[in-house]
Amino acid sequence: MLSLSACKENAPNVTENTPPAEETCAAALITPLIGEPQSALDALMVPEPLRIILPGMTVTMDHRPERTNIEVDDTGRISRVWCG
């Protein structure tokens, strides 16, 4: 048990220069639109990279912190927004 606590003390810390995940993409810009129709995105200039995920769509599992992911539900409304 002591060996595990020793590892914990030496774990690297996140630096103050590392932005929170929500600041690495445009999620903060899109999040207020959750529940709105996908067409609400037309009025915004969302920076690339951008991925709009429609129901049943296959997507890669690669993580790109700068990419904005927008999930649209089966009613055509924005249901989830995240970086990655």
DSSP secondary structure code for residue 76 in this structure = S
- pLDDT tens digits for range 14-46: 444 444 544 689 999 999 999 999 999 999 999
Which is more confident, 19 or 52? 52
Nearest residue to 81 (alpha-carbon basis) of 44, 29, 40, 37: 29
Assigned CATH class of 19-83 = alpha beta
Whole-prediction pTM: 0.72
Confidence category of residue 13, pLDDT binned at 50, 70, 90: very low
Q: What is the pLDDT of residue 71?
A: 98
Q: What is the pLDDT of residue 74?
A: 98
Three-state secondary-structure class, residue 15: coil
Structure tokens at 28: 């903060």
